[in-house]
Amino acid sequence: MGMMRGVLALSALLLAPLATGCASTSAAPAFREVGREVEGRTGKKLSWITGSDEDEQVRKAVRELLSRELSVDGAVQVALLNNRHLQAMYEELGVAQADLVQAGLLKNPVLSGGAHWPLDKGGGSTFELNLVQDFLSLFTLGARKRIARTQLEGAKLRVGNAVLQVAYETKVAFYGVQAAQQMLAMRKVIVEAAAAGVELAQKQHKAETINDLTLANEQSLFAQIQLDVRRAEADLAAARERLNRAMGAWGPDTGWRASPKLPEVAAEEPSFERLESFAVEHRLDLGAARKDVEVVSYGLALAKNVRWIGGLDAGLTIHRETEGVRLIGPSVSLQIPLFDQGQAVIARLEAQLREAKAREYAMAVEIRSEVRELRARLGAARGIVEAYQRSIVPLRERIVALSQQQYDAMLLGVFQLLSAKQAEISAYRELIESVRDYWTLRAELEWRAGGALPDAPKNNEEHHHDHP
């Protein structure tokens, strides 16, 4: 036992200068970095539910937001605090942080021993202890830590991108709720007017001033409008549930009230002069793709550096003879790269590197295309809203008013009047849908651009490079 303790003490003495210390496995610092990045882009805070005392404070904040009239910003904040898909995504940071710690640890030394007894008379017994350390892993320690650190940076970027995507999806769901609310309110106003029209038609029919066909048409329109109200109620219920899923709300938390109307279109759009370059610079998923390229590049460099050293173990051997003679000395084992010089591993990594670079390039090209498309669609959506507000809806209202006057003067048939009313209803519905589509596109453009839309000086020009 004394000899074993001596060997262990000696091994600790030899490896102590090489020890790197125990790094923390906590992913909290990485999460704080993600939180700062997201807050800078959205103005919203994140929280990681880990069973700490802060979890109850977050829960109270969520309840407070849901108890007030919910705005789009409030809905996004609730989602970023409460969405369980995001909570699951945060665990990727824990995995990457643990991998970084593991990459910085030395392999444990291997202690082995043996005793030998003679089978023939006259022989003596021997006792041997061996302490072996893998020195190849020690030489590659820095490279492995660099790879793991880059993987952690990539994980932070992927998590940040997931947060921005949830924010976008929450905005879309919220605008869907507001549009459904407005649609239902409009349908209810129309059904009240239609009910009054049916009542008047029944009185006129009783007084024999209108015929059976006119009364049936009024009743048919009223029945159709009542059915439209039921559809609008179902649409609103579905829209609320989509928002509940985005916010991670259930039970009593689903009783929230949303602000009743969609906001007016923005007075002016942000500058789109450098939107493509801005998106390429700020998209977090593209940043993660760049990190993937770095990881494979570092792995390839490491594989090339150790291709001629298959394995290197060094150690210490203590040997004791029967006569009490003790021997001590170093031992070394080196794997000879006779058949495997790492050529297959290197070829594989070279292919993976080309693949990662191609994916990064393709993503950059797609990002540029996406923001160009959305910029064009947003401009068109704005024009559509303005067209409905300035001309189509006022004209439909005027047509109905004039048609009603001519109908009352018996100069217009009931079919023309009903057609005018239905066209007016369609115009109201299409206006609401166009405003919803505008805000949905704006939210998507923000997401695809990597955050809040840039407000660049107007003299900046879009730059195009050989690499997107």
DSSP 255: G
260 φ, ψ (degrees, to nearest 5): -70, -30
Q: Are 102 and 148 in contact (CB under 8 A)?
A: yes
Count other C-beta atoms under 10 Å from residue 145's C-beta: 18
SS3 percent helix, strand, coil of the chain, rounded to 5, is 70, 10, 25
Q: Are 179 and 246 in contact (CB under 8 A)?
A: no
Q: What is the bridge-based pairing of β-strands 312-320 and 126-134?
A: antiparallel
CA atoms within 13 A of residue 51's CA, in its CB half-sphere: 0
Per-residue pLDDT 10s for the chain (468 aa) are 454 454 444 445 445 555 545 568 889 899 999 999 999 999 999 999 888 888 899 999 999 999 999 999 999 999 999 999 999 999 999 999 998 998 888 888 888 888 777 777 766 778 888 888 887 788 888 899 999 999 999 999 999 999 999 999 999 999 999 999 999 998 888 888 778 878 888 887 888 877 888 788 888 888 888 898 999 999 999 999 999 999 999 999 999 999 999 999 988 887 787 899 999 999 999 999 999 999 999 999 998 988 877 777 777 788 777 666 777 888 788 778 878 788 899 999 999 999 999 999 999 999 999 999 999 999 999 999 999 999 999 998 898 888 888 877 777 776 787 778 888 888 999 999 999 999 999 999 999 999 877 653 333 334 444 445
**Coil vs helix vs strand at 328:** strand
C-alpha separations of 410 from 193, 206, 221, 397, 430 in Å:
21, 18, 20, 20, 31
CA atoms within 13 A of residue 62's CA, in its CB half-sphere: 25
Measuring CA to CA, which residue among 160, 248, 245, 81 is closest to residue 451? Answer: 160
Rg (CA), the chain: 36
Specify if 79 maps to a domain.
no
**Coil vs helix vs strand at 172:** helix
Specify if 462 maps to a domain.
yes
Specify if 345 maps to a domain.
no
Degrees, nearest 5: CA angle 27-33-38: 125
- What whole-number distance in Å separates Cα of residue 214 and Cα of residue 278? 61
Parent domain of 391: 264-307+352-468
Specify if 180 maps to a domain.
no
Specify if 280 maps to a domain.
yes
Measuring CA to CA, which residue among 364, 197, 189 is closest to residue 281? Answer: 364
Specify if 150 maps to a domain.
no
Specify if 397 maps to a domain.
yes
Count other C-beta atoms under 10 Å from residue 110's C-beta: 12
Q: Are 45 and 61 in contact (CB under 8 A)?
A: no
In the block, which residue shows the tokens 């929230």? 256
Specify if 421 maps to a domain.
yes
Q: Are 184 and 236 in contact (CB under 8 A)?
A: yes
- The domain total for the chain is 1
Strand segments, DSSP code E, in 209-348 are: 257-258, 312-320, 326-334
- What whole-number distance in Å separates Cα of residue 430 and Cα of residue 387? 11
DSSP 24: -
Measuring CA to CA, which residue among 51, 451, 107 is closest to residue 281? Answer: 451
Query: In this structure, what token pair is assigned to residue 40?
Result: 């800078």
- Residue 98 parent element (H or E): helix 84-103
Q: Which CATH number goes with the domain that contains 463? A: 1.20.1600.10
In the block, which residue shows the tokens 């995001």? 86
